[in-house]
Amino acid sequence: MDVGARVWVGDPSDERVWLAARVLQASASSVSVELDEESGDQAPPRRRNSYEEEPDTSPQGPRNVPLAFTSSGECSNVLPRNLPTEQDHRDLVALPHLHEASILNALRLRYARHAIYTHIGEILISINPFQDLPELYGPEVLKGYVYDHNSQNGDRIAASDLREPHLFAVARAAYTDIVQNERSQSILISGESGAGKTEATKIMMMYFALTCSTGKDSEAIQGPDSPRTTIEDQVLQSNPILEAFGNARTVRNDNSSRFGKFIELRFRDQRRKLAGARIRTYLLEKIRVIKQAPHERNFHIFYELLSAGTDCVSKEQRQALALGGGAKSFRLLNQSLCSKRRDGVKDAEQFRATRRAMHQLGMSEREIAGVLEIVAAILHMGNVDFEQWGLRSLHEGGRAFGGFHIGAWTCSH
């Protein structure tokens, strides 16, 4: 390791994990380095809570770093650092030095300028921006990725393409292979809670619904509210329903999917238009219905129903369902001391979207009313207390009911 070399030094005790440095001296077992604070490579320290001690920001001199080696003999805690002009690539495979430190640094640099998508070969890394970036998904952006059936070279977007990596590019590559080679494609979206999997899925479904129904120059490409066939609308309108009944606020994510899903899209004819979809759900977190962790919520649908306006749930219907007390009056909703979302989304507006989606998927008013009655019945059953001696009496909300009467109410609703 040469004196003056640019390196990353691993330091698990530091919140940045990898520190930019330059080598002052080197031996077979250790190196002496000086932190390169002025290089612009250092990651900014995370925000600290008020109860945490402030870090020591006093100037630090050279530090001696014992070298750690892997079983194959490679140094694992002091790694070469790319030049400033080599650090920010759309495809990280192009990094001269490709390792954990250089990948994290490149992603940090791109994220700082709102470039949330980055390629590693065929893999697309997406970092949740935790803010709306409408310029990334507008009609003009979408037009650049729509497959042109009239073109003779509508092939995959190459890694050398000048456009930034995008979810649209991944969806287009899959659709291109379906059209040109008639092969089924799979797109795997994975990540930890709050990484943005739900939004990524919706964005890709929006791409397929819009691009599969139109040519490249069609005026129909106007965004998610543009005209579509019934099938395409139904594919997109499944999302509000799945989120209402399967998503919840957690400590890390206000719209966390509490279930897994496998979405299968089917295409037809030579132009491969969208013909239908099948969604399989699994691993629903059923325990959340009766118990939530502190500062988490039950499934969205309960709060949406209680917050619904009169245009969605009439006064008579609300009275019949006995929903006048709000979330605080139901045991299934008031245990975690949390009933609101932090992301600015209003439950009443979401319920309006959920109800509209039910209509779009062909549910009648009677069927929708039946679903809401079941949701209300679950809330009321959560307030039921069984006395020790069984059928003698039941309690709901502090009022005593005979076993026959509460059973009849539950069955009739």
User: Does 198 carry a binding-site annotation?
Assistant: yes
pLDDT tens digits, one per residue of 268-285: 877 678 888 999 999 999
What's the whole-number mean pLDDT along residues 374-380?
96
pLDDT at 408: 53
User: Does 101 carry a binding-site annotation?
Assistant: no
Which residue would you say has higher pLDDT here, 273 or 185? 185
- For the ranges 137-146, 153-162, 207-216, 266-275, the one whose mean pLDDT is highest: 137-146
User: Does 246 carry a binding-site annotation?
Assistant: no
Mean pLDDT (the chain) is: 84
pLDDT at 403: 45
pLDDT at 109: 94
User: Does 326 carry a binding-site annotation?
Assistant: no
Share of the chain above pLDDT 90, in %: 59
User: Does 194 carry a binding-site annotation?
Assistant: yes
Among 388, 392, 390, 394, CA closest to 407: 394
Cα(7)–Cα(19) distance, integer angstroms: 8
Cβ 258 vs Cβ 246: under 8 Å: yes
CATH number of 229-381: 3.40.850.10
Share of the chain above pLDDT 70, in %: 80
Structure tokens at 8: 């990353």
pLDDT at 47: 47
First to last CA, the chain: 75
pLDDT at 411: 55
What's the whole-number mean pLDDT along residues 352-372?
96
Residue 104: alpha-carbon gap to chain centroid: 20
What's the whole-number mean pLDDT along residues 68-72?
91
User: Does 106 carry a binding-site annotation?
Assistant: no
Per-residue buried b or exposed e for 75-100, using 16+ beta carbons within 10 Å of the residue's own CB: eebbbebbeeeebbbbbbeebebeee
> Does the structure show a pLDDT above 90 at 218?
no
Q: Show the beta-strand stretches assigned E in 192-328.
A: 247-248, 256-257, 260-268, 273-282
User: Does 201 carry a binding-site annotation?
Assistant: no
What's the whole-number mean pLDDT along residues 66-94?
92
pLDDT tens digits, one per residue of 155-174: 455 544 667 899 999 999 99
Do 114-216 and 229-381 come out as alike in CATH topology? Answer: yes
Q: Does domain 114-216 have CATH number 3.40.50.300?
A: no
User: Does 324 carry a binding-site annotation?
Assistant: no
pLDDT at 248: 97
Q: By CB neighbour count within 10 A (0-12 exposed, 13-18 middle, 19+ buried), where does 42 fall?
A: middle
Cβ 21 vs Cβ 33: under 8 Å: yes
Domain residue spans in the chain? Answer: 6-43+61-86, 114-216, 229-381, 383-413
Instruction: Give the residue carrying structure tokens 């962790």.
Output: 293
